[in-house]
Amino acid sequence: MTDKSPAANILVGVSGGIAAYKVCEVVSTLAKAGAEVRVIMTSSAESFVSALTFATLSRHTAYTDQNFWSADQARPLHIELAEWADYFLIAPLTANTLGKLAHGLADNLLTNTILASTCPVLLAPAMNTDMWLQSSVQRNWQQVLADERYRAVGPAAGRLACDRIGTGRMAEPHRILAALESLQHTQGRCDLTGKHILISTGSTQEYIDAVRYIGNPSTGRMGIALATAAAHRGAQVSLVFGPMEPHLRQTIPDSVQTTAVVSAADMEASLMAQLETADWIIMAAAVADMRPQLNVAGKLAKADLPNPLPLEPVTDIAAQLAAKKRADQTLVGFAAQTGDIIAPALDKLKRKGLNAIVANPVDQPESGFGCDRNQGIFLDHQGHQTTLAASTKLRMAHHIYDLLLTTLTT
């Protein structure tokens, strides 16, 4: 959320559930990033987190029903807040508040403000599994989502506060924040609905023996951002990733189909197997260029390591995909470069037969491998260049999709 304009106003509605404590992190993160945040609490939410806590974290009064019915307001509070908001998050969304949304009911400050507002609304449900699976709750959920104003994040599966294991957990704060960031960019557009996007990300590891390998520092963050942005815009997403830290794997949206691989050969096999059904293929992985000619099952003694180490080239996966893809499929590459990033990227674009490429400087501060932010130059098949200014990787991913949608329709 670090690139969010301070002018964006975010209303956070908190209804009564144990997951309300997680919303503290969401509010705190938004406020620290420069957002203007206002919190509305239902009376039952006050049983779980105090208004003072949210006021402190948001740097502003947290509103309750006591404020709603106060005679001190020059204008109705729910109207003031509804007109002020650019985006509305409701977390946790309980079965009770969901039912009110579905039927247009308004009996407290939160529900009155929702009905008085016109901005996009992000919903983060949280409830017991049996409650979530009730046919009446599912009817309400589908009815609400039929309104284009509303977008969803979660619920997730796992152990609930009642010790039940199942669906009903509120999405974790990092997922809610990512969904909010996407909502700010897209305004709720699902313009990738109907597309299957196949993405590769991370590094590959080419083993010498059981404990040594040739690799690179790619973490997979950019590919996860591309997968997240595509999922938020309605696409069916498949992500093939190399070795990745567990905490990063946990940031991949649940709706994304994932395949974990290790070597370049593994990645090539997985991508080729999924090529037929993909509309867009995005090669964000940092695939090895060379691999050892030997691959020993056990560990070699240091004295037995060959010097020099004999290497052989790895198959160029992007070129292989380009040779086998259909004319109606789009293949996008990434070029991680230092120094002049344009000339090598143009060469790869033409030599590999790509539809577009993103030239990515990895020698700049807060850019490239291991960073939460990135920047680059987008080049289409005619070599036209568009600067991708430094931003979060999620925002950069959205800009890439905007450019692909534009270049493929003009």
Q: Which sequence positions are flagged as catalytic?
A: 162
Query: With 0-12 CB in 10 A as exposed, 13-18 as middle and 19+ as buried, what is 217?
Result: exposed
Q: What is the Cβ-side half-sphere exposure of residue 182, based on CA atoms within 13 angstroms?
A: 29
Helix (H) or strand (E) holding 337: strand 330-337
Nearest-angstrom CA–CA distance, 230 and 278: 13
List, in sequence order, every residue forming a beta bridge with 159; answer none if it has no partner: 165
Q: In the structure encoding, which two tokens stand for residue 78, read together?
A: 């729910």
Cα distance from N-terminal residue to C-terminal residue, the chain: 31
Contacts of 116 (CB under 8 A, 6+ apart): 78, 79, 81, 82, 83
DSSP of 184-228, one letter per residue? HHHTT--TTTT-EEEEEESB--EESSSS-EE-----SHHHHHHHH
CB 191, CB 405: distance < 8 Å: yes
Dihedral of CA atoms 117, 123, 128, 129 in degrees, nearest 10, equals 130
The two structure tokens encoding residue 215: 């690799």
b vs e for 183-210, b when ≥16 Cβ sit within 10 Å of the residue's Cβ? bbbbebeeebeebbbbbbbbbbbbbbbe
Backbone angles phi, psi at 88, to 5 degrees: -130, 125
The three-point CA angle 32-36-40 to 5° equals 105
b/e map of 112-127 (b: 16 or more CB within 10 Å)?
Answer: bbbebbebbbbbbbbb
Going by the DSSP 8-state scheme, the letter that residue 303 receives in this structure is G
Identify the sign of the CA torsion 384, 390, 393, 395.
negative
